[in-house]
A and B are shown apart, each in its own frame.
Chain A
Amino acid sequence: QVQLQESGPGLVKPSETLSLTCTVSGGSISNHYWNWIRQPPGKGLEYIGDIYYSGSTNYNPSLKSRVTISVDTSKNQVSLKLTSVTAADTAVYYCARVGLGSSLDYWGQGSLVTVSS
């Protein structure tokens, strides 16, 4: 059974960089796209961006200038960096695999990141 686990600091200061890692277990990172999705408290889901195992990326235009997603196939990990964060970036951040019919068929449990001084 594929499992995804997000990890990283739960608190980031305004203007600094948010960094999260998604570790994939129970399956290979190869031959799949991997998404980052976020959910502000009490709100809906927002696509941040995705990466193919080969390294090609696609980002949400509204976040593109601040986002970098990378992959490390040797560690079965996908990483997210979001620069110049503000309180509006406070959210639960999820990584998810693109699978069945191009749906997001496996999700991590999520990592709450709070932006505050």
Chain B
Amino acid sequence: QSVLTQPPSVSGAPGQRVTISCTGSNSNIGAGYDVHWYQQLPGTAPKLLIYGSFNRPSGVPDRFSGSKSGTSASLAITGLQAEDEGDYYCQSYDSRLSGPVFGGGTKLTVL
């Protein structure tokens, strides 16, 4: 059981918009800790997609955006492309565990 909760799967057609939620608690997201998002394409290592809840590293398309409110955060992907298919993980810091925690991951399928 992951400390952060994500839906197991989401799907959308090419060109559409999808969102992936990440729900935590008052010891992590709700305590004000930043949320980071990672993309893991099949057979590869995770790659940083969003940091500090809203920011994109250099080279990440602006089709990807992050938001945060209360004890939850979301990743939005617009203009879905076949190459976006993979697993997406959220991550924050938890004060009770005194370390980083991850969501269970969400598998994105592009129909």
Contact = CB atoms under 8 A, between A and B. Distances in A.
Interface of A: 35, 44-47, 49-50, 58-61, 94, 96, 100-105, 107-110
Interface string B72-111: 0000000000000000010101000111111111000000
Contact of B51 (A59, A60, A61, A105): A105
B46 A44 contact: no
A44 B51 contact: no
Q: How large is the interface on B (under 10, 10 to 19, 20 to 34, 35 or more residues)?
A: 20 to 34
Closest 5 A-B residue pairs measured CB to CB? A101-B52, A103-B51, A103-B36, A101-B51, A107-B45
A50 B101 CA distance: 13
Main secondary structure of the interface of B (DSSP, over half): strand
B99 A103 contact: no
Interface string B11-50: 0000000000000000000000010101000001111100
B98 A58 contact: yes
